[in-house]
Structure 1
């Protein structure tokens, strides 16, 4: 991409620009740990360069190991039901890059993405942003230009050193803390909770959705140090339901209700009907998919992006409660501890292990010995689609298919079949 030649938008030019972006910039989604750029120095320079649009927005910051995507989409849906224009920044995307940046359920315009990528040509060479840093500033600028009432920002990875942590939100939330990305965030729950609690800011309320005292205490201590109100969402009792059907969503609903309560304290109008309707219309309002997503009814096909041990345990428990023989399509990335996952696999199932098509995707042949030792009925496939098609052929009407293990497996499945 030349620094001086202006390029007009076409679908082909857009795809070339996007391909260039993925290749040029360190990208955790593709490259893993080596792409992770901890610290706020880079994003601070980047925001300064683009005029600090994040300082002109009313923002809500949502972190946590699991549930932050669901929680942010539920809250967005509630605010939309109240009539607000709501920006939503999530990652990673499942099918299309523009899913990361939405306003009232509509993906960011490709023309905006294209034009913003062109601006990379003028960034001072010493900044060298990561892929996530660049998409973060892209979301700030898009929400500012579109004059959203609120921008809900999901933490990318960790919290303390995540590039989203440059914002000064109205309120922050940490849905929960579990073991994930230990090679970056630390090996213990305490270390990871400390990193997540890094989003706590001076005099800004923090909501905690984790039920364990160990995690609560770490977040509460951080709140005390920052003179911030600590709000324990686990104390909330509710019968409200959501159209997001994972059993684990009950815990996320409590965090959403705590967020709503805090926003109301700040004189932001949110009616009870907006809460009830918003929770029940998440798919419709935000186009959120991939979390206990029922792809079809006959045969029953469900996919879920759960990918760490805690998330998979919850999903597999819900799978075990379904009285059907299961065909389970699973794939993982390179840092996954396969031996731990194998201990919690549902019984009464045929397995189809697949390789996600990204460079970090792990070839099941590498862990075939573990699969044999686990004494499960399995086959290995080179691609997600090959595994799914094999499962589809074998699946009888009264049986079911599950697709999961990684965001990338679910993304590939949906891209091919939606």
Structure 2
């Protein structure tokens, strides 16, 4: 999969990398060694899991921003292009910073060693190395144990959730997938986990035991009740996240806990401001009245989306605009969405793994459905008078639609 605007730096600096996905750490560790191991220069919070990674990092960056810490983040996928995946103090990396990183990597001779995502991961660490940063937030790309982000010696780890996804690479059971996610845990470190299903929880605790690490669990070691956070001697009241959905309560609590155990002093007024200001594109994102975008793309995230729609719009007509990648469990997604939809509009979008809208149309049992062959022809206003329009199914679909409509 091509990372938008990444190839121009590869071509400019004559650095080659493969577009395939190759789980494993040996090659990226060899490349990082050539570069002086920049991944070990800063304090890091590493986030893996099936859903909630982006939201948790949004809370983390807000918590770092309000008291004036210097921070950076590496996330995926991109919203606009490669620059927004590497951010310093919530600002996308500049072309100058990218050029400096690529120039350095070219001189060190890492061309041809890596895949695209490995090269992007290395680029982020090279960009961050030269900066005075209090903390870096790293989002695992896929899985965890063998993901290219899992290369630092030490980090506080967060796992917000674990469910079935990326079965081709991670396995087809919760236990197998959990083994990959739990692999981000470092020896003698700390892990913060959300409300995991029992098979996943068992695997994570076994990993922690093997690595002599400490686990802090939501609703066991820390909690949010009646908008009040509690953990040990810490207590923060009147917390009202702007991000929509019940699951954001636990994501918020995970971020607060991770910052505290990372050694940062949090003040209640700062926490209140931070959690209220935290936002993330494509997570039940309000574009305008009666128009939302949510990148739900697997079982757990679709379950959360349906629950949120039922809570927010119990008496509204729901018009769903849907584009899905073909390697996702689209039948499950359709069955869940059919329970709350008034109408469906299935859309073809320009991604190499995009599922043909005709397939979605044929598998959908809803009586009111249509196909749009080109995302530029979507009418985002046609349901505004009598209901709510929700765009969903893939972050890549949302990103393309935003670009084409200028939202």
Q: Same fold (TM over 0.5)?
A: yes
CA RMSD, Structure 1 to Structure 2 (Å): 2.3
Deviation at 1:358, TM superposition (A): 1.2
Could you tell me which residue of structure 2 aligns to residue 61 of structure 1? 46
Could you tell me which residue of structure 1 aligns to residue 346 of structure 2? 353
Note closer, same or farther for the CA distance 1:15–1:350 as it changes in structure 2 (3 Å cut): same
Deviation at 1:408, TM superposition (A): 0.7
2-side partners of 1:327 and 1:278: how far apart? 32
8 Å CA contact retained: 2:49, 2:161: yes
Q: Which runs of 5+ in 1 are unaligned?
A: 1-12, 28-34
Q: Secondary structure at the match of 1:237?
A: strand
Note closer, same or farther for the CA distance 1:149–1:241 as it changes in structure 2 (3 Å cut): same
Deviation at 1:115, TM superposition (A): 4.0
2-side partners of 1:67 and 1:262: how far apart? 20
Note closer, same or farther for the CA distance 1:123–1:307 as it changes in structure 2 (3 Å cut): farther
Tell me the matched-pair count. 384
Q: After superposition, give the CA deviation of every residue in 1:8-63 in whole Å (9 maximum; x if it has no partner).
A: xxxxx998437889x96444xxxxxxx21111111111211222111111111111
Could you tell me which residue of structure 1 aligns to residue 406 of structure 2? 417
Q: Is 2:24 the counterpart of 1:39?
A: yes
Per the normalisation by structure 1, the TM-score is 0.86
2-side partners of 1:193 and 1:277: how far apart? 34
Q: Secondary structure at the match of 1:46?
A: helix
Deviation at 1:81, TM superposition (A): 1.2
Q: After superposition, give the CA deviation of every residue in 1:156-176 in whole Å (9 maximum; x if it has no partner).
A: 100100111101334111111
What does residue range 20-169 of structure 1 map to in structure 2 within 5 Å?
25-27=17-19, 35-118=20-103, 121-122=106-107, 124=109, 127-169=112-154
Deviation at 1:127, TM superposition (A): 4.9
Per the normalisation by structure 2, the TM-score is 0.88
1:377 aligns with one of 360, 364, 368: 368
Q: Secondary structure at the match of 1:340?
A: helix
8 Å CA contact retained: 2:361, 2:370: no
Could you tell me which residue of structure 1 aligns to residue 278 of structure 2? 282
Deviation at 1:74, TM superposition (A): 0.4
Note closer, same or farther for the CA distance 1:385–1:319 as it changes in structure 2 (3 Å cut): farther
Q: Is 2:216 the counterpart of 1:227?
A: no
2-side partners of 1:244 and 1:216: how far apart? 26
Q: Secondary structure at the match of 1:190?
A: helix
2:317 aligns with one of 322, 325, 338: 325
Q: After superposition, give the CA deviation of every residue in 1:97-149 in whole Å (9 maximum; x if it has no partner).
A: 21101111111112222343455655647852111111111111112222211
2-side partners of 1:72 and 1:348: how far apart? 30
Could you tell me which residue of structure 2 aligns to residue 8 of structure 1? none
Q: After superposition, give the CA deviation of every residue in 1:210-266 in whole Å (9 maximum; x if it has no partner).
A: 342322221111111111111112323321221212332112122113213312xx4
1-side partners of 2:267 and 2:323: how far apart? 42
2-side partners of 1:196 and 1:125: how far apart? 28
